[in-house]
Amino acid sequence: MQTTAISRKITVLGAGAWGTAVALALSARNDVLIWGRDGAAMLAMDAARENTHYLPGVALPPALRVTADFDAAVAHASGADALLIAACPVAGLRPLLRQLKPYPIPNVVWLCKGFEYGTGLLPHQVMQEVMGDTVAGAALSGPSFAQEVARGLPCALTVASSSEALRERVVASVHGGNLRVYSCDDMVGVEVGGAVKNVLAIATGVADGLGLGLNARAALITRGLAEITRLGNALGASSATFMGLTGMGDLILTCTGDLSRNRKVGLGLALGKPLDTIVAELGHVAEGVPCAKAVRELARKLGVDMPITNAVADVLFDGGTPQAMLAQLLARDPRDELA
């Protein structure tokens, strides 16, 4: 697939860590505008030329424009070759799409990873419910820490969409410099991998916090990948997708990286900290927490065996302890590894 050096208009809706990092990276080759709901925070961000709350110490390039004007932000990305990127948590996707619905927009590309709690829907299904077939949609996902992308370190992502034209547009706009973008039409697989890996990162954080060693971590990651694949297959995804960036790649990064918020949740649980305290100390969204409950419910509904996910949800929501979680997993009967 050929890429071009044409500068495109891109609006990033959401000024958290990941939204800011993506806007910063894309502004090197595109006309980028970033929007946030908090007018005072956006004024402060523009004045300081830094997102001091989410990405302290990382300067915004002069070309990156900042606004709290939603109409102006959407208008900026209303052209046929523009991109509108939704950089909100999965819980905020439906409200944001509803806010966008009255506008004549060409596409929506979302960065969020997870299942919508209460409905069990993946982001592309939420998009379908709100927008129907009138607007093309794509998921941009993969192993990526905002702090590293913001600093210009190398990163590889995958764009997934049923629209080949939109996939090509995203690649042309995003691929370049230290960002590599691969293309995929398996939206279910890409989104399932991006969602469930956060739950498994909590499990590996617990194991690391309990001092169980690298052997246990490797076992959790490998068996976690089997859980992701089983659930993805039940939802219609290709097994091959989980061998790629948004499956194995994102799982390894989130389960082992010190920047992983979900791994930090597991480390805190192993220390006996209450969940509310852990989340408050993070100061950021840890998507694996609500996702664990949503995935457990979906797996039960589909009859998919997900013992690690069940154990994590038991610790998070049902009063289980990390030690009991470990005992529960070790007491399972042996089975064929690839069954």
β-pair type (9-13, 107-110): unpaired
- What are the backbone dihedrals phi and psi of residue 61, each rounded to the nearest 5 degrees, phi first? -65, 150
State the virtual CA torsion across 229, 187, 254, 295 in degrees, nearest 10.
-60
Residue among 9, 101, 113, 197 flagged as catalytic: 197
Residue 157: how many CA atoms within 13 Å on its side-chain side? 29
Beta strands, E only, the chain: 9-13, 31-35, 65-67, 83-86, 107-110, 136-141, 155-160, 179-184
User: Sign (positive/negative) of CA torsion 186, 187, 192, 195?
Assistant: positive
Cα gap 240→135, rounded to integer Å: 28
Strand partners, 110: 86, 139
- Catalytic residue list contains 197: yes
Check: CB of residue 197 under 8 Å from CB of residue 233: no
Vertex 329: Cα angle to 324 and 333 (nearest 5): 130
- What are the backbone dihedrals phi and psi of residue 109, each rounded to the nearest 5 degrees, phi first? -115, 125
Give the single-character DSSP code of 136: E
CA distances from 96 to 43, 69, 89, 262, 301 (A): 21, 14, 10, 24, 28
State the virtual CA torsion across 172, 177, 179, 185 in degrees, nearest 10.
20
β-pair type (136-141, 155-160): antiparallel
Vertex 106: Cα angle to 102 and 109 (nearest 5): 100
Active-site residues, by number, are 197
